[in-house]
A and B are shown apart, each in its own frame.
Chain A
Amino acid sequence: MSGACILEVKGLSIKFGDFTAVDNVSFCVDRGEIFGFLGANGAGKTTTIRMLCGLLAPTSGSALVGGLGFEDGGLGIKKIVGYMSQKFTLYNDLTVGENLDFAAGLRKLEPAYAKKRRKELFELIAFNKPLSSMVSSLPGGIKQELALAAAMLHDPEIIFLDEPTSGVAPASRARFWALIRRITGLGKTVIVTTHYMDEAEQCGRIALMRAGRLIALGSPEELKKSAFSGPMAELDFKGTEAASFISGLEKARGLLELSPHGMRWHAAFKDKAAMDAALAALPASASAALIRPSLEDVFIRLVEGAER
């Protein structure tokens, strides 16, 4: 198995003083995969990523990134990975060209090579503005694509993107994810963190993190199957009976999960029999529809399950 893994993490823990930011995490990422980290703020996603970029050394456990460990203080790892942090990675007060020149300088790239890479990456992200444009004048989505290009200037094998689309317009988000798929199509491995469930759906596999621990790992489909073995119904109340019915439903036998989704409720059951029994008393004005659980349902169930 380890032969196929470009990233192999075993029993990884990172402590800051008494605080355990990452707690005994193990996983493996294949070459060419889009691997997503999902979790709330402070769940340990960024810390894990920073460690895998060679910025932090693990307190215990091991991690091999492209076959390299931390013996050299992370310098080897830094050479083969690209990292786009969740904060600003480009300078607003510099032009596109100046930003990329600086990124090339940080990586000690020869000017001719940097120029060639810049051309390739501009094609990849379909960037057609002049090099002399100030970064501050670019729209958020273009900025993020450019930041990705800057992180890929040294042609890294593994690219880490920490919340790359936060604060970006929906259309630009879709464009950015199309770009991520193009990159993995080139044989690169992309590891990405996100808050957005629709983005998580696009990952090959998702690692769900909570309080520093990895609580679930699998493809979106696998996660849905493992979280909900039985059916799920979406309840839509027209009248005012909702409150009393829901408080009764909470005590129903075989109910796995009940959560509000806007005006509607999602109820998951152990099996069809339990669902039929629980929904028999549904008021006439309300309707129930059988739905496929979303990743959000999975997230709520798994995170709450871990909290219980």
Chain B
Amino acid sequence: MNITLRAFIKKELTQTLRDGKMRALLFGAPIIQMTIFGLALTTEIKNIKLAAFSQPGDAMFERVTEGFYSSGWFARAAHAAVEDPFELIASGRADAVLIAPDGGLARSSERGDGKMQLLVDASNATKARAVEAYSKSIIAAAAVREYGASGEPAIQFDVRVLYNPAMESSMFLVPGVMGMLVCLITIILTAMSLTREREIGTFETIVSAPLSNAEVLLGKTVPYVVLGIADAALVVAAGYLIFGVPVRGPLWQLALVALAFVINTVSIGTFISTVSKNQQQAMLGGFMFLFPAILMSGVMYPVENMPGAVIAAAYLDPLMYFVRLLRNIMLKGGDSYVLWSNLGALLFMAAFTAALAYKRFRQTLN
């Protein structure tokens, strides 16, 4: 490796790792965040408030409902006999409402056209996911009880998820959090490190050495690409070891995707440093990029549910591609169409942001 690049990597890593605050940001924050999300992931939901609505004399529905209450997961929600089920959920007095089909459950099951309805409050996605899973197993057990092992005709029910139709699960959140952390750390670190050198004046010494602009830029950015990838590896390992978040796809795909993403963020960090006069501005600039990038990335809210203009903007968000790729590789085992189309987009953006960063960087040297 080039002597200069090696010297830069050694220097930047030494400085970053020697600083206690930086160490906390690099290694402490990811573990804490992962722990918080990991705990959300493993919390068992109990005492779900369930209300049931049926016509009088629907014995089969009564038995199914009793199955819910005796499972230990559900508790009776207090309500009047005639009340709007939606109102019950909106007011928070019930987390889920079970509604019998017209004419009774037994008759509609035999006909095969009527369905029992379950309304679920998914403003808390984890809870909603639990309600759905518990309900399915209770209904399946009820079907076996009513009709025998064949379960024919089975009792069907129609789940309507309210407030959060995409119903994100925490498992789904973890790769998103990984993407978010790598994004935050690489952008802030790169922008701060470059601005800091300019601010304290050591940058003058670097540019007085007989180096090309590209060498200076690579020297100041490659160390943060290395740190970013190391951090991504740390987060994946923490997710896997502590909470069992799987990596179903090959690791080389994960590494390649992380590299493509980190080139984007380090370039963006460099760009931010060229428009910042001091470290505070660089920090602010970093967050000005990060907040919309995180909101549009699909980490917390599905991109598909956003208004058209925001979806269009989300397609310019490297974090969106990265999170998609992480979920695809880690949870689904790496579908090759998803991989190459999103990786292609990420690499294209990397080329663009790197070129832009290089251009701005060169302009601000003199």
- A79 to B19: give the CA distance in the assembly, Å: 33
List chain A residues, Cβ under 8 A from B366: 55-56
Known contacts A93-B18, A94-B14, A98-B11; is-contact A106 B202 (Cβ 8 Å): no
Which of A76, A91, A105 contacts B7, CB < 8 Å?
A105
A161, chain B: closest CB distance, angstroms:
12
Q: Is A101 an interface residue (CB 8 A)?
A: yes
Whether A89 contacts B205 by the Cβ 8 Å rule is yes
Q: Is the CB of A101 within 8 A of B7?
A: yes
Residue of A nearest to B216 (CB): A106
The 9 closest A-B pairs by CB, nearest first: A105-B7, A87-B201, A78-B210, A106-B209, A85-B204, A83-B208, A102-B11, A79-B210, A89-B205
- Is B206 in the interface zone, CB < 8 Å from A? yes
By beta carbon, the residue of chain B nearest A79 is: B210
Instruction: Determine whether B3 belongs to the interface, using a CB cutoff of 8 Å to chain A.
Output: yes
Least CB distance from A55 to B in Å reads 6
Alpha-carbon distance between A78 and B8 when the two chains are bound, in angstroms: 19
Contact between chains at B7 and A102 (CB < 8 Å)? yes
Residues on B with beta carbons closer than 8 Å to the beta carbon of A126: none
Distance in angstroms between the alpha carbons of A91 and B200 in the assembled complex: 9
Which one, B3, B19, B207, contacts A55 given CB within 8 A?
B207
Contacts of B124 in A (CB 8 A): none
**A89:B202 contact, CB within 8 angstroms:** yes
Q: Nearest chain-A residue to B8 (Cβ)?
A: A105
Tell me, in angstroms, the Cα distance from A109 to B204 when the chains sit together.
19
Dominant SS at the B interface?
A: helix
A155 CB to closest chain B CB (Å) equals 14
Closest beta carbon of chain B to A123's beta carbon, Å: 23
Known A-B contacts A79-B210, A98-B14, A107-B210; the reply to A89 vs B7 at CB < 8 A is no
A contact residues around B211 at 8 Å (CB): 106
In residues 37-79 of chain A, which contact B (Cβ within 8 Å)?
A: 53-56, 75-76, 78-79
Whether B7 contacts A94 by the Cβ 8 Å rule is no
A82-130 CB contacts (< 8 Å) to partner B: 83, 85-91, 93-94, 98, 101-110
Residues 241-266 (chain A) with a chain B CB within 8 angstroms = none
Contacts of B14 in A (CB 8 A): 94, 98
| Pairwise interchain contact A91-B202, C-beta atoms closer than 8 A | yes
The closest CB in chain A to the CB of B206 belongs to A106
Contact indicator B201/A89 (Cβ below 8 Å): yes
Chain A residues close to B by CB (< 8 Å): 53-56, 75-76, 78-79, 83, 85-91, 93-94, 98, 101-110, 150-151
Contact at B209–A78, with CB atoms within 8 Å? yes
The residue of chain B having its C-beta at the shortest distance from the C-beta of A78 within the complex is B210
CB of A34 to closest CB in B, whole Å: 20
Tell me the bound Cα distance from A189 to B211 in angstroms: 23
Q: Which residues of B contact A88 (CB under 8 A)?
A: 200-202
Closest to A82 in B: B208
Prevailing SS type, chain A contact patch: loop
Cβ of B202: which chain A residues have Cβ within 8 Å of it? 87-91
Q: How far is the CA of A108 from the CA of B204 in the complex (A)?
A: 17
CB-based contact A78/B3 at 8 Å: no
Please list 9 pairs of residues, one from A and one from B, whose beta carbons are closer than 8 Å in the complex, sorted by A's number: A55-B204, A55-B207, A55-B208, A75-B210, A85-B201, A87-B200, A88-B200, A94-B14, A102-B7
* Residue from A75, A102, A103 whose CB has the most chain B CB atoms within 10 Å: A102
Q: How far apart are the CA atoms of A86 and B200 in the complex, in Å?
A: 11
Evaluate contact between B6 and A105: CB separation under 8 angstroms. Answer: yes
B145 within 8 A of partner (CB): no
1/0 per position for B166-202, CB-CB distance to A under 8 A? Answer: 0000000000000000000000000000000000111
CB closest residue in chain A, given B204 = A85
Q: Which residues of B are found within 8 Å of A83, using beta-carbon distances?
A: 204-205, 208
Give the docked Cα–Cα distance between A101 and B208 (Å). 16
**Within the assembled complex, what's the spacing in Å between the Cα atoms of A76 and B210?**
7
- Convert B4-15 into 0s and 1s, putting 1 for each residue whose CB lies closer than 8 angstroms to a CB of A: 101110110011
From A78, A88, A103, A105, residue with most partner B Cβ within 10 Å:
A105
B40–chain A nearest beta-carbon distance, Å:
37
- How many angstroms from the CA of A156 to the CA of B202 in the assembled complex? 19
Q: What is the CA–CA distance of A83 and B207 in the complex, to the nearest angstrom?
A: 10
B210 contact set on A, CB distance < 8 A: 54, 75-76, 78-79, 107
Residues of B contacting A79 with CB < 8 Å? 210
B3 contacts A105, CB within 8 Å? yes
Residues of B within 8 A of A108 (CB): 3-4
**Contact status A78-B201, CB under 8 Å:** no
Measured between alpha carbons, how far is A253 from B285 in the docked complex, in Å? 64
B205 x A85 contact (CB < 8 A):
yes
Alpha-carbon gap, A53 to B11, bound state (A): 24
| A202 shortest CB reach to chain B, Å | 25
Which residue of A76, A86, A94, A103 contacts B15 across the interface (Cβ within 8 Å)?
Answer: A94
Closest-by-CB residue of A relative to B19 is A93
Known interface pairs A91-B15, A93-B19; A106-B7 also in contact (CB < 8 Å): yes
Q: From residue B13, how far is it (CB to closest CB) to chain A in Å?
A: 11
Contacts of B207 in A (CB 8 A): 55
Q: A53-B208, A75-B210, A101-B10 are in contact. Are A93 and B15 (CB under 8 A)?
A: yes
Q: How far is the CA of A104 from the CA of B212 in the complex (A)?
A: 16
Chain B residues, CB < 8 A from A78: 208-210
Cα–Cα, bound, A105→B211 (Å): 11
Is A89 a contact of B204 with CB atoms below 8 Å?
Answer: yes
For the complex, give the distance between the alpha carbons of A239 and B207 in Å. Answer: 58
Docked complex Cα distance between A54 and B365 (Å) = 12
Q: Give me 19 other A-B pairs in contact (C-beta within 8 A), A54-B210, A105-B4 excluded.
A: A75-B210, A75-B212, A76-B210, A78-B209, A83-B204, A85-B204, A87-B202, A88-B202, A89-B202, A89-B205, A94-B15, A101-B7, A101-B11, A102-B11, A105-B6, A106-B4, A107-B210, A109-B3, A110-B3
